[in-house]
């Protein structure tokens, strides 16, 4: 009898807080743009939508729940995709600020960043120089001296909030040490199994984007969590599709979206989130794997539904 095909959960991270509006005319900014981009991604096969909000005038990242509400309502009305709200916000924000939308909306899934780190956005100044808003240049320049703060106390506060609200987590692991931090919280009983590990490659300050880096993350996760975890791959920038492809071939889930990469090919801006979801879907199916529906993803990730 044929073995059932592995189901791959595609997450689409629709706008994020790394890129700025002057970098791409396709980056969703307003609530309507975020809703339309997210709905398009869900229709193309994204079971999980990872969501941030932006100020509609300036495009600056914001954790104001009032900015999330209109697009969350539209997405819930028009799709059955899993809503994943950021608690990372932007490295420029306080942890209290970052927690506001997940506290307000109690989603099925929220991100949780597993360690404090440098977060170097300034190399993007080599490629992008013309900015419409002052905040955009400052956002990149200031990353030379800021720390993306995720102390043990911060992580514990977000975990406690999630556990009280039935929210589970996409654990953002940017380096090997973050896997050990996650194992610590599993051992303390604060994280229910299986944890959904989003391995992040290619952020300056975290692990690099070499396939050997991916192998080292996987070997370490296998050693710490055995078979009892769900693995996903996020490659930043041009690493997005190659690393997602390697990961999917090795049994991982995948994350794409304009939060992580503005590109669809060398020097070619992606015109939509949907186009990246379609691209990875084609790759996943070419690997003879199946894309998970939202309900299949809920079952895999143990979500409240």
Q: Which does 18 bind (CB under 5 to 8 A by kind): Zn ion, ligand KMH, none?
A: ligand KMH
Q: Does 199 bind ligand KMH (CB under 6 A)?
A: no
Separation of alpha carbons 157 and 247, rounded Å: 31
Site for ligand KMH (CB under 6 A): which residue of 53, 203, 256, 270? 203
| Intra-chain end-to-end CA distance of the chain, in Å | 32
Q: Does 113 bind ligand KMH (CB under 6 A)?
A: yes
Q: Does 87 bind Zn ion (CB under 5 A)?
A: no
Judged by beta carbon, residue 50 or residue 274, the one nearer ligand KMH is 50
Separation of alpha carbons 41 and 64, rounded Å: 23
Separation of alpha carbons 176 and 91, rounded Å: 20
Q: Does 75 bind ligand KMH (CB under 6 A)?
A: no
Separation of alpha carbons 48 and 42, rounded Å: 8
Site for ligand KMH (CB under 6 A): which residue of 12, 18, 179, 284? 18
Q: Does 86 bind ligand KMH (CB under 6 A)?
A: yes
- Scanning 11-19, 151-159, 208-216, 271-279 for contacts with ligand KMH by CB under 6 A, the matching segment is 11-19
Dihedral sign for Cα atoms in the order 104, 236, 266, 48: negative
The CB-of-290 to Zn ion minimum distance in angstroms stands at 26
Q: Does 172 bind ligand KMH (CB under 6 A)?
A: yes
Interface size with Zn ion, residues (CB under 5 A): 2
The CB-of-5 to ligand KMH minimum distance in angstroms stands at 28
Judged by beta carbon, residue 6 or residue 118, the one nearer ligand KMH is 118
Residue with CB nearest ligand KMH? 88
For tokens 């190399």, name the residue: 123
Peptide bond into 194 cis (omega under 30): yes
Pairing of strands 168-173, 53-54: unpaired
DSSP readout, 177-229? HHHHHHHHHHHTT-SPSSPEEEEEES-BTB---SHHHHHHHHHHHHHHHTT-S
Interface residues with Zn ion (CB under 5 A) are 16, 86
Interface residues with ligand KMH (CB under 6 A) are 13, 16, 18, 50, 86-88, 111, 113, 172, 200, 203, 259
């Amino acid at each position: 009898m044929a073995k059932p095909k592995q189901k791959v959960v595609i997450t689409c991270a629709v706008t994020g807080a790394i890129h700025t509006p002057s970098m791409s005319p396709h980056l969703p900014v307003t609530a309507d743009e975020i809703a339309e981009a997210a709905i398009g991604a869900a229709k193309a096969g994204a079971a999980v939508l990872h969501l941030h909000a932006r100020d509609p005038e300036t495009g600056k990242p914001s954790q104001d729940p009032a900015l999330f509400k209109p697009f969350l309502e539209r997405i819930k009305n028009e799709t059955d995709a899993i809503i994943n709200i950021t608690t990372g916000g932007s490295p420029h924000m306080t942890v209290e600020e970052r927690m506001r939308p997940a506290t307000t909306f109690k989603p099925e899934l929220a991100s949780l960043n597993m360690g404090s780190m440098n977060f170097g956005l300034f190399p993007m100044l080599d490629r992008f120089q013309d900015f419409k808003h002052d905040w955009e240049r400052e956002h990149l320049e200031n990353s030379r001296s800021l720390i993306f703060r995720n102390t043990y106390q911060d992580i514990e506060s977000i975990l406690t909030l999630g556990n009280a609200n039935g929210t589970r987590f996409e654990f953002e692991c940017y380096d090997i040490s973050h896997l050990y931090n996650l194992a610590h919280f599993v051992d303390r009983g604060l994280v229910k199994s299986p944890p959904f590990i989003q391995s992040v490659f290619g952020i300056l300050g975290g692990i690099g984007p070499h396939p050997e880096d991916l192998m080292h993350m996987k070997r370490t996760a296998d050693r710490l969590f055995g078979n009892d975890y769900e693995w996903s791959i996020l490659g930043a920038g041009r690493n997005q599709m190659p690393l997602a492809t390697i990961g999917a071939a090795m049994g991982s889930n995948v994350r794409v979206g304009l939060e992580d990469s503005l590109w669809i090919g060398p020097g070619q801006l992606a015109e939509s989130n949907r186009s990246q979801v379609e691209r990875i879907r084609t790759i996943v199916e070419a690997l003879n794997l199946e894309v998970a529906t939202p309900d299949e993803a809920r079952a895999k990730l143990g979500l409240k539904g």
